[in-house]
């Protein structure tokens, strides 16, 4: 009977150590996460480097820095190993700090909070910080946040970003207003109806008017609220018309308390990004990223 490690499963513990070191950026931090001695972590990493035939980390005064080979291996191993840990019910390290997640308040409440429920039940700790994209990205730069869901894609290499999903925007109102939905609805058909807006300069409404109607919006809003949930509530109550992302009003559309006034095959979209600082990814941050990516698949 052969003792060869054909499928690599005998190396799972070594790769788990590798991933802990990669995400924490420190041998000592990885040792604390895994409940091992630092010498054991060092020995396991050296064993892996010997098997791989290439260095995985560069040692420096403040810890370890992954090599390009380590980046490649981590990207391919993190999903399967995280899935294995979840299947086995492995709890997060007790001394792991809360993951600080920034984003628009409405998105954090409606999308992120339910998506994170299973991970929170498993011991993950998360602190949510609502705010505007520019402010949150600055906090991320200062290391005051760990992860941001942003409608603004940062420039340069100071922050890393990946596309999360595209918001689709629709023009909606309560059926109580008596506006007949139509694929040919024109702006003059809602001329006398109050506009419900996110800000005084009506960025979402203005974009919709330009994209769908092909004209510039010249009207001032009757109601302004810097939280889209307030616009949803006002629209349901019959206060006026608004332009809102479909994920935020899925229940209202299903229940019929809001109606899409103009169906279109080419709605305005807005790409949201997951943004973090470059470098090793902590296990908690990886868990939050994974939960958010899984949540948007069903949208």
> Can you give the CATH number for the domain in which 154 is found?
3.40.190.10
* Residues 289, 154 share a domain: yes
Predicted confidence at residue 206, as pLDDT, reads 96
Model confidence, pTM: 0.69
Is residue 281 in a domain?
yes
* Domain assignment of residue 2, yes or no: no
Q: Tell me how far apart the alpha carbons of residues 114 and 108 are, in angstroms, rounded to a whole number.
A: 9
42 vs 31: CA distance, rounded Å: 9
Which residues constitute the domain of residue 124?
Answer: 99-159+277-297
Q: Residues near 91 by Cβ (< 8 Å), separated by ≥ 6?
A: 122, 123
Same domain, residue pair 178 and 264:
yes
Give CA–CA dist 274/153, Å, rounded. 9
Does 213 reside within a domain? Answer: yes
With respect to residue 140, please indicate whether it lies within any of the assigned structural domains.
yes
pLDDT of residue 82: 66
> Do 219 and 285 belong to one domain?
no
- 260 shares a domain with 174: yes
User: According to the model, what pLDDT value does residue 30 have?
Assistant: 80
The last residue of a domain, from among 62, 87, 112: 87
Of 30, 52, 87, which residue sits at a domain end? 87
Lowest-pLDDT choice from 105-114, 164-173, 272-281: 272-281
Do the domain assignments include residue 65?
A: yes
Task: Give the chain's domain count.
Answer: 3
In a domain, 226, yes or no: yes
Asked if residue 180 and residue 141 are part of one domain, the reply reads no
Pairing of strands 160-173, 269-276: antiparallel
Indicate if the pLDDT at residue 90 is higher than 60. no
Asked if residue 175 and residue 142 are part of one domain, the reply reads no
Task: Output the pLDDT for position 3.
Answer: 46
More confident residue, 55 or 93: 55
Residues 127 and 191 in one domain: no
Q: Rounded to an integer, what distance in angstroms lies between the CA atom of residue 223 and that of residue 235?
A: 10
CATH of the domain at 24: 1.10.10.10
Whether 195 and 252 map to the same domain: the answer is yes
Judge whether 109 lies within some domain. yes
Read off φ and ψ for residue 245, nearest 5 degrees: -70, 140
Q: Are residues 146 and 172 in the same domain?
A: no
End residue of a domain, out of 54, 87, 120: 87
Euclidean distance between the first and final Cα of the chain, in Å?
A: 50
Least confident residue range of 184-198, 217-231, 235-249, 267-281: 267-281
Asked if residue 50 is part of any domain, the answer here is: yes
Give the separation between CA 202 and CA 110, rounded to whole angstroms: 22
Same domain? For 218 and 248 the reply is yes
Same domain, 79 and 104: no
pLDDT, mean of residues 28-44: 83
Confidence class of residue 80 from pLDDT cuts 50, 70 and 90?
confident
Residues 67 and 25 in one domain: yes
């Amino acid at each position: 009977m052969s003792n060869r490690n054909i499928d690599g499963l005998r190396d799972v513990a070594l790769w788990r150590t590798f991933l802990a070191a990669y995400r924490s950026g420190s041998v000592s931090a990885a040792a604390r996460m895994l409940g091992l001695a630092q010498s054991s972590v060092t020995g396991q990493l050296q064993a892996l480097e010997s098997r791989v035939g290439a260095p995985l980390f560069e040692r420096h005064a403040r810890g370890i820095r992954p090599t390009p080979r380590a980046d490649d291996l981590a990207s391919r191993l993190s999903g399967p190993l995280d899935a294995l840990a979840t299947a086995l019910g492995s709890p997060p390290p007790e001394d792991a700090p809360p993951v600080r997640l920034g984003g628009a308040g409405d998105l954090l409440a409606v999308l992120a909070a339910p998506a994170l429920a299973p991970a929170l039940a498993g011991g993950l700790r998360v602190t949510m910080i609502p705010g505007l994209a520019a402010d949150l990205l600055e906090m991320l730069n200062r290391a005051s946040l760990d992860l941001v869901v942003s409608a603004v894609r940062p420039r340069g290499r100071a922050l890393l970003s990946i596309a999360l999903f595209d918001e689709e925007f629709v023009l909606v109102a309560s059926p109580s207003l008596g506006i007949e939905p139509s694929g040919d609805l024109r702006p003059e058909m809602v001329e006398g109806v109050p506009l419900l807006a996110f800000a005084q300069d009506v960025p979402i409404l203005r974009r919709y008017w330009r994209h769908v109607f092909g004209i510039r919006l010249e009207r001032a809003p009757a109601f302004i609220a810097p939280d889209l949930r307030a616009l949803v509530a006002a629209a349901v109550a019959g206060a006026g018309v608004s332009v809102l992302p479909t994920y935020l009003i899925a229940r209202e559309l299903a229940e019929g308390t809001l109606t899409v006034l103009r169906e279109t095959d080419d709605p305005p979209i807005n790409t949201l990004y997951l943004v973090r600082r470059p470098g090793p990814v902590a296990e908690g941050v990886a868990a939050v990223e994974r939960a958010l990516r899984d949540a948007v698949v069903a949208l």
